Amino acid sequence: MIKKSAYISVFILFITMVVSCEKDFQDIATSVVSNTKFETKDTIIDIVITNKQVTSVRADGLTIGGTLDQYLLGVYNNPNYEKIQASIVSQLGLDTGITFKDNAERVYGNDTTVVTTIDTVFLKLPYQATLKTGTTSDYTLDSIIGDQTKPFTLNVYRSDTYMSRLDPVVPSKASNFQSDKTYQILPGELNTQVNYPFTPIATDTLMIFKRRLSNGTVYKTDTLKLSNNNPFARITLDEAKIKQIFVDQFDSPNFTSQDALDEYFKGLYIQATGNEGSLISFKINTLDLSLRPSIEIRYTKTVLIGGTTVLDTIEKTNSFALSNFSTSVYKMDEKVYPDNGNIVLQGTAGNRAQVQLFDANQLAALRSKNLLINDASLTFYVNQNIVGTDTIVTPYKLFLFKDGNPKSQIKDVLSEGADSFGGGLVKTDNKPDYYTFKITDYISDLLNGTTNYNPILGLKVLNSTDFPTTGTDSLVTDFSWNPKVVTLLNHSSSNGARKARLKISYSKKK
C-alpha cells in the first residue's frame, strides 16, 4: 500500500509539471505572436546581371567515373542563340569475344581454306526513347531539340589523336579535354555514304541483313533488334576499310588488350555539321549492352575444301562499344550579346550570366540596419516575346553558384537541399514565366557578418553534375551537356515589374 501510494504521488506530481510546462509553452508562443517590439517588412534590392561568354567546357568524364552521362550529336541552329555543331570522339571498348584465326588444317584437314566475307558493318546509335501508352513497339524519341524533319550532315572518321587519361605534363593528374579541342583525323570517311544526311526516326526498330558465302551466295537472312525493340540509327560503314582495320587484324597484337587497341585505333570521330537539323543526346554509359553506341561487325567465314566446295560456314559477330573513354566536341558560333535588356543562357559551351547582389557600400549600409532575415529570394523572368520560347527548348531548371576561383556552392544548397534552393521553371498559362532561387541562409550570413565573401554569382543552365554529391561537397564542376536555351530579362528598369530582382523579408526592432 505504501509503495502504491508513493507511485501514485509521483505520477500526480509528474502530470502537474507537464501541464505547467505546457502552459509555459503556450504562454511563450502567445508572447512571441503578440510581440509588438519587432516589425516585419519586405524590400526589393536592385541587382546587376550581365551576360558572360563561354568558349569551352570540360568535355571528358575522367573526374566523374570515366564517362559523361550524355553525349550530344547533331546541329541546333536558332537565330537567337549560338549555333552548335556537336560531335563525339571516343575510344572503342575491346570486344573480349574476339576469336583468333581458325586453324582450318587442324580442324578440317590440310586441303581446307577459310575465306572471310563481310556481311554488314555499321555504326549503331540507340536512341533514348519512351514507349507510347498501351503499345509495345511504338516509341517517341527523347532528348532531342531542333527540327527533326531536316537532316544534318554526318561523317565518321578514324581519329589520329591519342587520348590519354593522364596529363602528359603532370602524370599524377587526370587529363582535361575541353569541348573546343582539335583532333587530328586520318584521311577518308569510314561511312559508305559520304556526308550522310541524318534524321532521327522513331520507327527504326529493326535491321535486316544477309549472310553470304565466299562466292557471294546468300545463305541466310538475319535480323537485329535491341532490348524492348528500342529504336536505333545505323550508319553503314565501308566494308573493305573495316575488314582491313579490324577483322584482318584480329590475329595481331593490336587486339590482345585494351591498351593495345587504344594505341592502334586511337579513336572514332563521329562528326556532325550543317546549318539545320536536330541535336540528339545519346547515352554511352548504360548497363544494357545492346543500348550502347557501337561499331557492329557481322561476317561469315566460309570453310572450303579443294578451294571450291563449301565444307562449313562460321557466323561471326563482334561489337566495339563507345564505352571506354569518350569526349564531346562543341563547335559554337560565338556571339557577343548586346546590352538590350536581355540575358541569354545557353547550355553546352554557350552563354551564362553573372549576378552582382551588393557592392561594398550597399553591403555596409544593409549591415548597419541589423536586420533579421526571414526570407530572401532571387527571381529571373523569361522574355516571353522571344520567338521559339517553349517548353521543349527552355531549360526546366537553372543553377546559381559563386563564380569565384574555384567555383563553389551557395550555402542554401548544402543547408536546405537542392529542392528548397529552387531554380525550377514556373509556367503561367503553360508558357515559361520565371525562375526563383531561395538564398535566405546565404544573404543572412552576409548581412550579419558571418562571412565577408561576397563574390559575383554565376547563373547557368543546370547540368546534372552541378549539385553536390555529399553534404560537404562545396565545389562546382564545370561540365555541361544540357543544350537548352532561354532568354531572361535583366535588371533594367525598362523591364518594369519583370526585371531581375532580389526580394528580402526581414524583421527589425521598432
Whether 502 shows a pLDDT value over 80: the answer reads yes
Q: Which residues pair with 458 in a beta bridge?
A: 354, 401
DSSP 29-53: HHHHHT--SEEEEEEEEP-EEEEEE
Q: Which residue has the cell 549591415?
A: 367
DSSP 177-230: -BTT----B-SS-SBSSTTEEE---TT---EEEEEE-TTS-EEEEEEE--GGG-
- 55: nearest Cα among 399, 309, 488, 346: 346
- What is the rounded CA–CA span in Å between residue 208 and residue 115? 23
The reported pTM is: 0.88
- What is the rounded CA–CA span in Å between residue 168 and residue 162? 11
End-to-end CA, the chain: 61
- 284: nearest Cα among 431, 3, 6, 65: 65
Residue spans per domain, the chain? 39-55+337-509, 71-331
Whether 24 shows a pLDDT value over 60: the answer reads no
Residue type present at position 39: E
Most confident stretch, 82-96, 161-175, 464-478: 82-96
pLDDT at residue 135, as a whole number: 85
pLDDT at residue 306, as a whole number: 81
pLDDT at residue 37, as a whole number: 66
Mean pLDDT of 132-140: 88
Is the previous residue joined to 406 through a cis bond, with omega within 30 degrees of 0? yes
Whether 16 shows a pLDDT value over 70: the answer reads no
- What is the rounded CA–CA span in Å between residue 426 and residue 377? 14
Which DSSP state fits 161?
Answer: S
Q: 102 or 322: whose pLDDT is higher?
A: 322
pLDDT at residue 61, as a whole number: 87
Whether 23 shows a pLDDT value over 50: the answer reads no
- What is the rounded CA–CA span in Å between residue 482 and residue 485? 9
Quote the cell numbers at residue 326. Answer: 569518350
Q: Which residue has the cell 526571414?
A: 374
Taking only the tens place, the pLDDT of each residue in 310-358 is 888 989 999 999 987 899 999 999 899 988 999 999 999 999 999 999 9
Average pLDDT, the chain: 89
Mean pLDDT of 412-436: 95
pLDDT at residue 193, as a whole number: 98
pLDDT at residue 419, as a whole number: 95
pLDDT at residue 19, as a whole number: 40
